[in-house]
Amino acid sequence: MIWDPGLNQGNLVVVGGLIAVLLLLSTRAKVLDQSGMVAAVVLAALVGGLGHWTWLLLLLSFLASSHLATKHRFEEKAAKGMCESSDGSRRWTNVVANGGMPGLVVLVAFFLDAHGTGLWVFAAAVAVAT
């Protein structure tokens, strides 16, 4: 069922669809470079597959909002040398820096079978990255 956390068919189907959307939108909007996409797919599979697709939505909302913040007045930031990349895309290092702790929380929640508590800790880890 899609509402059950962890490794089950319903959850994995939804996660696969979300990863496909992530790849499509990341390519079109230049959210992630190639290395960032690889890291994001691995992290998304971990978070959604071992946690839940709703956890992945939370992480993707962070990615979307941070991308919008990066693109806001991007030309001014670039002129001042305040950009990590020339087009505002994020590399694998950014994905790991912001998603590493939430990914670790998912692993612990999965192996301890503590998805209820894990959700709150996961949400806090994503909030801290903001």
31 pLDDT band (50/70/90 cuts)?
Answer: confident
Q: Which residue has the higher pLDDT, 11 or 83?
A: 11
Mean pLDDT of 4-27: 90
Which range, 26-35, 73-82, 103-112, has the best average confidence (pLDDT)?
103-112
* pLDDT at 48 (0 to 100): 95
Could you tell me if 30 and 37 are in contact, meaning their C-beta atoms sit under 8 angstroms apart? no
Instruction: Count the neighbouring beta carbons within 10 Å of the beta carbon of residue 38.
Output: 13
State how far Cα 4 lies from the chain centre: 20
Angle between helices 34-46 and 53-71 (to 10 degrees): 150
Mean pLDDT of 79-91: 65
Largest CA distance in the chain: 50
Q: What is the pTM of this model?
A: 0.84
Q: Is 105 helix (H, G, I), strand (E, B) or coil?
A: helix
52 pLDDT band (50/70/90 cuts)?
Answer: very high
Strand pairing partners for 32?
Answer: 90
pLDDT in tens, 105-118: 999 999 999 999 99
d(CA 74, CA 125): 27
Q: Where are the domains of the chain?
A: 9-70+85-129
3-state helix, strand, coil in the chain (%, to 5): 75, 0, 20
d(CA 46, CA 40): 10
Which range, 27-36, 61-70, 112-121, has the best average confidence (pLDDT)?
112-121
d(CA 1, CA 79): 50
